[in-house]
Amino acid sequence: LHGFGWTNPRLGKDHALASIQRCLGEYNLCGIKFNGAQDDYVIDEPAVLELIEAAARFGKPIAFHIGADFYENTHPYRLGHIAARFPEIPFLMVHMGGAGLPSLHRAAIETARQHPNITLIASAINETPILNAIHALGSERVCFGSDMPFGLMHVRLAMFQALLRDHSPVDRANILGGNIARVLKII
């Protein structure tokens, strides 16, 4: 397992900065996640951007919950603003605009197309948007995602394997593990 940390700006700047330092500096985790849906904040507001800048100093991937469940806080375009500000940092767009209705997958794909430092994590999203993302971005920018424990990993993996059956072995290997290993620098 390759762990990610979590920080919550709503607990205060000092607490969030300490979490970033502990997760990325002390524990040397692979990256850190921001979730403006669960923790109720707008991901590109100035106070959060200050925390993202602190996390970016570690040079590790930063993940964002990007879903329709709280689209005002976590809209894909908001991650686009962040990715433009920190082009040297790899960003993971978790759920690629899914995780609720209506799906924001079109905006997610458009945003990723504009920002090559964004990789999509295809969790909590249906099959057709995943295929659309692969078609639009290539197999190098889309990663398997199960959203455990909210989805059963073996069922989600079987869906991906069926979905990718007509793709090349290279495409399947990229999506089912190679891309995330590359982004996390574990290969």
> Are 18 and 46 contacting, i.e. CB atoms less than 8 angstroms apart?
no
User: Residue 99: what pLDDT?
Assistant: 86
Length of the chain: 187
pLDDT single digits (tens) 19-72: 999 999 999 999 999 999 999 999 999 999 999 999 999 999 999 999 999 999
CA distances from 23 to 28, 35, 55, 109, 185 (A): 6, 16, 10, 29, 17
Residue 90 burial (10 A CB sphere; 0-12, 13-18, 19+): buried
> Are 135 and 105 contacting, i.e. CB atoms less than 8 angstroms apart?
no
Q: Read off the tokens for 90.
A: 């790899």
